Amino acid sequence: MAPIDLTTMLLPLFVVVLALWNGVHAAPQVPCYFIFGDSLVDNGNNNQLQSLARADYLPYGIDFPSGPSGRFSNGKTTVDAIAELLGFDDFIPPYVDASGDDILKGVNYASAAAGIREETGRQLGARISFSGQVQNYQSTVSQVVNLLGNEDSAANYLSKCIYSIGLGSNDYLNNYFMPQFYTSSRQYTPDQYADVLIEAYTDQIKTLYNYGARKMVLFGIGQIGCSPNELARNSPDGKTCVDRINAANQIFNSKLKTLTDQFNNQMPDARVIYINSYGIFQDIISNPAAYGFSVTNAGCCGVGRNNGQITCLPMQTPCENRREYLFWDAFHPTEAGNLVVAQRAYSAQSASDAYPFDIRTLAQI
């Protein structure tokens, strides 16, 4: 038997370690990543707005490298983690800060309290609705055309990018299930309301398509009826999820999933996928220990029952064992919760996580 040459065996490992040590990064799997959404993925667009929906103060960002940034979490959001999984070496900049060549790697247009409907979230002050975010993207496309020289080059470039779209939560939380401010629940049944939302949603993603988007990721709504806020307000024991809210969310999600087939069949070169956020949260809540969570019905910081009455107060001291909490505040997941959703959206753990396939596959097409 020939002697084993340890030098030959270890050399490839040494090269990899040396590359990582020197900060060498592989190119991202896609050239750019554009993000549309609400407070679940806002990373600073609301910081300059006259709004109650802001998170540019401690304890928000307590575990984020640069501290409070406007992210509604203790650390990274779902799209931050997905950007890392896609190979980007930095987070995607918010629209308010993106300029110059920076826009070529993508822009985050998300705005806390934003909805598919224009009036959604108005009781919280200023916010950028889905249509407003799409208008901001159209402005960005004009800049991309200027940077790349012509419309054909821009269209070719944008067709390779991934577009993350996650709206609808506020259309339930801060509209349909808030009858003291909105008439929608008296105007529409849950099924009719979902139809109205999907119709408006479709119009916006058609505009994105017309402005270059081809690879789109549609995030379904999570289990809003299981959030600390709804448990605090409507659950008899503070643990049992609110069925009427979750049932309405599932109607919307079902119609959103159907929309992927419609787009993929009717729009040339469209590659649209659906992420089953609802099912992923359901898995976590059903078996929290498998994901390292010990608390799934209360916020790590907040006020009142379940820490769910309102969001974190400025300079409030949050829980110390943040990794064990699914929710950071009354509505939003911790970084730990966001990482689970991101990982399963990027690389599906079960067949139901993503339809018809996951983000990793979408990036390779």
**Residues noted as catalytic:** 39, 329, 332
Closest CA to 299 of 290, 312, 289, 283: 312
**Helix or strand or coil: residue 315?**
coil
How far is residue 266's CA from residue 17's CA, in Å, rounded to a whole number?
A: 47
**Helix or strand or coil: residue 326?**
strand
How far is residue 133's CA from residue 212's CA, in Å, rounded to a whole number?
A: 15
Helices (H), the chain: 6-21, 78-85, 130-148, 151-158, 169-171, 184-187, 190-210, 228-234, 243-266, 277-286, 335-346, 359-364
Q: Are 349 and 362 in contact (CB under 8 A)?
A: no
CB-neighbour burial class of residue 144 (10 A; exposed 0-12, middle 13-18, buried 19+) = buried
How far is residue 220's CA from residue 329's CA, in Å, rounded to a whole number?
A: 20
Closest CA to 80 of 18, 200, 155, 164: 164
Q: Are 203 and 263 in contact (CB under 8 A)?
A: no
